[in-house]
Chain A
Amino acid sequence: MSTPTMQPQIAPKAKPQVLKEDAMWLQKEMINRNYHELATAHQDGRKVSATFVPGNLNELLMCFNFARSLPETNALQNGMRKKSGKMIMDAERDGHSEDVCTYVKADLGMMLQGQVGPTGEPLPHPDVLLLSYTGCFTFMKWFELIRQKYNCETVMLHVPYQGDGKVSPAMRDYVVKQLKEKVIPTLEKVSGVKFDIDRLRQYMRESVKAEENLVRVLQSAKNRPSPIDGYFGAVYYIGPIFTAFRGMPEATRYYDTLWSEVEQRIREKKGPVTPEGEMAEEKYRLVVEGPPNWTSFRDFWKMFYDEGAVIVASTYAKVGGVYDFGFRHDAERPLESLAEYCLGCYTNLNFPQRIDMICKYLDEYQADGLLINSIKSCNSFSAGQLLMLREVEKRTGKPAAFIESDLVDPRYFSAANIKNRLESYFQMIKQKRVAQAAAGVH
């Protein structure tokens, strides 16, 4: 999956100073510490787990003292550091098709290059692959590929898809049974740690605190001006909670800090902070569907803030959990709640649900329109997005636009094309406003 958690980047000297908030520094520290923990896990006698962002069972993994790696995050971090292009090509030279998801190839390429993580420290081979199969078939092949190469213990958690737009008791029971009878025993065996459900409960209670604040932060974009960017900024905000930190007091602290920063921005009627400072004037409010491009992330973002466009809500910020529609981890029914969490991640929703969600965002966040960033790698997100575009336009009467790029393959980011598209899209929104004003509609 297209996944969050980025480190704030230090800009090269010649470039303008990148501005960061306190929460960002906190996050940087957390991420660096996690990579260091991974690097030293084996010498510290700890086992290493790897799992995916959607359906990430972080609280459960913590119950077994695993150092936790998220291969999607490693891939995107490498993408941001412009290292993924070579990794992908190495994987292709090793026999992987040019047609398939580049997250997988970036990960396999990193392994081929000696498994040095994004921070320059070595990443150990995982002791267990928790194949939490939520919202994407490629995950299954991804871990089968790693298992084939490195012989890692692998445990599958099959999460059924919400084909008819709901979670049935049979679906939930199926996931719970797998947790009880497959996942937990395997994690016990690999880690040598006995499962303690009260420990899980404790982590889940901690998760809820962070979840509450994350939702406040994301929903702050309903304000005018929006104090945050719900896409380019949100990929930072979702970082800790979607990855190795949910359930930890550090995550709670991070979201407390973040929320107080955002609250203050609301009070001061400030717009979002961009890498080049505060956004001056909010001219356009957009909803975005699809993951961002990581290899040219800053250039991509700049195309928006230069034009005064702020993203008020994005579906991508829901890949690791749809908290803004009410889901919270529930310590009273821990395993059922973990199952519901996995079943409810964004890409596990069916198409009508995804479209409903976007229409709701357009309405509740008073957005001008929808932008779809269609990712070449990602069939899970992308297959069918053109229908989504039509449906949303039809239902909301708001203009929608379509651009194409890739997650971590720099060959598929065409800045000029995207910029052109965006410029005409902003034009279109403007014209629509004029027409509406003329017709007396608002």
Chain B
Amino acid sequence: MNVKEIVARCEALFEDLRFNAVQQWKAALPGRKAIGYMPVYVPHEIIHAAGFLPVGIFGGGDQIEVIQGDAYYQSYICRIPRSTVELGLSGRLDCLDGMLFPSVCDVIRNLSGMWQIMFKDKYVRYIDVPQNYDDAIGGTFYISEMQHLRDDLGALRGQPITDAELNASIAVYNENRKAIRDLYSYRAQKPWQAPTSEVYLLLRAGCVLPPEEHTPLVRAYIAAADVEKRARRDNARVVMTGSFCEQPPLGLIKSIEMSGCYVVDDEFMLAFRWLMDEVPADGNPLEELSKAFLHRSAQSASKYDDKKEDKGRYLLHQVKSRGAEGVIFAAPSFCDPALLERPMLQEVLAKQKIPYTAFKYAENTGQMAPIREQAGTFADSIKLWSAA
């Protein structure tokens, strides 16, 4: 497949809010089940080990008219819960047999209970992740949380999930994470060959495709992108941060790129990159997943920084390792975690003299001109700065 075909496939998956791909996957074999999860992170491996399909639910984007969902939320609450409720109430999520709500913020936390009330026939679980990073404390708790999920999903399929199954799934996801790491490195090296609007769609495809299908698709994209003839522009290299939950519309990502920025790292669909390296696939699986979470995972606003010095470390690493020249803070409106985190990260950047700019969006933001203008001015200032 060439780039155009791969991207077209991913785009079709992204636009399909009826989740036909999930329905087809389920229909292919009797007894198959699909479990939805919300941002930021859940251990996919456990769902996969049960033989189920993990399905990332990242809101309704700008393609869905929210009618019923608005009746559940005040105007000062972000948009992702209302469009997710809309997806649920309009029957678009009927293909899911369950939903997982990770501990990200109070909105998603409360949505877990709302889901229990609104969708009584579905499996619903709030996934707490530890904010204490000692193996004997946070680790023990996290393992018990994962064990709970493992038992529940085992019960759902009528057979416990074995260690061997979990280890096999860890191996599958190691491959997927590696492919995505390679994709991110490739984009950082040649952002003109792998624009973020395409990289983004590839990640979104991973929300509905099984990893066995997603990993080769990512690999195929890298190979196909590399042989494309694409013009290299004198763009500013930026990291985009703050978009770990409610997603910006695709048009916004394109606008940033068109305004003269190469996005060389980001926080989109962080779940795929949350665990930053290989998880051993031959040990005690839950212990290994726990260790990877506690000691080798990404930072985001929903995670506590144990020490003051840890604040911004991940962002600085993104900037430095990707050779970025600036940071764009793009946070959803009314997103407490992202917006409260922002001034702390900005202070860290200011100390390092790394330029930044900031704006807010909603998943259905339609007016791109102001954002394009702001990003364009930012890119120009970076270029002027580096020329000086």
**Chain A residues near B (Cβ < 8 Å):** 94-97, 99-101, 104, 131, 133, 136-138, 140-142, 144-145, 147-148, 151, 154, 156, 158, 160-161, 163-164, 168, 170-171, 173-174, 177-178, 181-182, 350-355, 374, 376, 379-380, 382-387, 391, 404
Report the Cα distance A138→B301, complex, angstroms: 10
Known contacts A145-B340, A161-B103, A171-B141; is A387 also within 8 Å of B126 by CB?
no
Across-interface contacts of A391 in B (CB, < 8 A): 117
Residues 103-121 (chain B) with a chain A CB within 8 angstroms: 103-107, 109-114, 116-118
CB < 8 Å neighbour of B106 from A136, A156, A353 = A136
Looking across the interface, which residue of chain B has its beta carbon closest to that of A98? Answer: B339
Across-interface contacts of A352 in B (CB, < 8 A): 113, 116-117
Across-interface contacts of B132 in A (CB, < 8 A): 156, 158, 174, 178, 182
Smallest distance from the beta carbon of A269 to chain B beta carbons, Å?
40
Residues 344-382 (chain B) with a chain A CB within 8 angstroms: 344, 346-347, 360
CB < 8 Å neighbour of B137 from A94, A100, A168, A177 = A177
CB < 8 Å neighbour of B339 from A99, A142, A147, A353 = A99
CB < 8 Å neighbour of B340 from A100, A171, A177, A178 = A100
Report the Cα distance A154→B116, complex, angstroms: 35
Check if A384 sits within 8 Å of B342, measured CB to CB: no
Within 8 Å of chain A (Cβ to Cβ): is B136?
yes
Looking across the interface, which residue of chain A has its beta carbon closest to that of B335? Answer: A99
Check if A350 sits within 8 Å of B140, measured CB to CB: no
Report the Cα distance A308→B256, complex, angstroms: 57
Check if A145 sits within 8 Å of B71, measured CB to CB: no
Known contacts A141-B341, A156-B131, A382-B77; is A151 also within 8 Å of B117 by CB?
no
Check if A387 sits within 8 Å of B72, measured CB to CB: yes
Known contacts A148-B308, A352-B113; is A379 also within 8 Å of B128 by CB?
no
Smallest distance from the beta carbon of A356 to chain B beta carbons, Å?
11
Check if B343 sits within 8 Å of A384, measured CB to CB: no
Report the Cα distance A156→B132, complex, angstroms: 8
Report the Cα distance A94→B335, complex, angstroms: 18
Residues 321-349 (chain B) with a chain A CB within 8 angstroms: 331, 333-337, 339-344, 346-347
24 contacting pairs across A/B (C-beta < 8 A): A95-B346, A133-B131, A137-B105, A140-B131, A141-B336, A145-B343, A147-B308, A148-B344, A156-B131, A156-B132, A158-B130, A161-B103, A168-B144, A170-B140, A170-B141, A171-B141, A173-B140, A174-B137, A174-B141, A182-B134, A355-B117, A382-B77, A383-B107, A387-B114
Check if A384 sits within 8 Å of B301, measured CB to CB: no
Question: Sorted from nearest, which 5 A-B pairs have the closest CB atoms?
Answer: A351-B113, A163-B126, A141-B340, A174-B141, A170-B144
CB < 8 Å neighbour of A351 from B110, B339, B346, B360 = B110
Within 8 Å of chain A (Cβ to Cβ): is B305?
yes
Check if A138 sits within 8 Å of B106, measured CB to CB: yes
Across-interface contacts of A374 in B (CB, < 8 A): 74
Smallest distance from the beta carbon of A78 to chain B beta carbons, Å?
20
Check if A164 sits within 8 Å of B110, measured CB to CB: no
Across-interface contacts of B134 in A (CB, < 8 A): 181-182
CB < 8 Å neighbour of A163 from B114, B125, B340, B344 = B125
Within 8 Å of chain A (Cβ to Cβ): is B76?
yes
Within 8 Å of chain A (Cβ to Cβ): is B314?
no
Check if B117 sits within 8 Å of A97, measured CB to CB: no
Report the Cα distance A158→B331, complex, angstroms: 25
Known contacts A97-B342, A350-B113, A404-B74; is A160 also within 8 Å of B141 by CB?
yes
Check if B81 sits within 8 Å of A383, measured CB to CB: yes
CB < 8 Å neighbour of B111 from A182, A353, A383 = A383
Smallest distance from the beta carbon of B363 to chain A beta carbons, Å?
15
Across-interface contacts of A380 in B (CB, < 8 A): 106, 110
Check if A351 sits within 8 Å of B117, measured CB to CB: yes
Check if A161 sits within 8 Å of B144, measured CB to CB: no
CB < 8 Å neighbour of A144 from B127, B137, B141, B305 = B305
Within 8 Å of chain A (Cβ to Cβ): is B302?
yes
Smallest distance from the beta carbon of A400 to chain B beta carbons, Å?
14
Check if B336 sits within 8 Å of A158, measured CB to CB: no
Report the Cα distance A384→B69, complex, angstroms: 11
Check if B72 sits within 8 Å of A384, measured CB to CB: yes
Looking across the interface, which residue of chain B has its beta carbon closest to that of A151? Answer: B308
Check if A376 sits within 8 Å of B339, measured CB to CB: no
Known contacts A137-B105, A137-B106; is A351 also within 8 Å of B308 by CB?
no
Check if B74 sits within 8 Å of A386, measured CB to CB: yes
Report the Cα distance A401→B104, complex, angstroms: 29
Smallest distance from the beta carbon of B359 to chain A beta carbons, Å?
11
Report the Cα distance A161→B130, complex, angstroms: 11
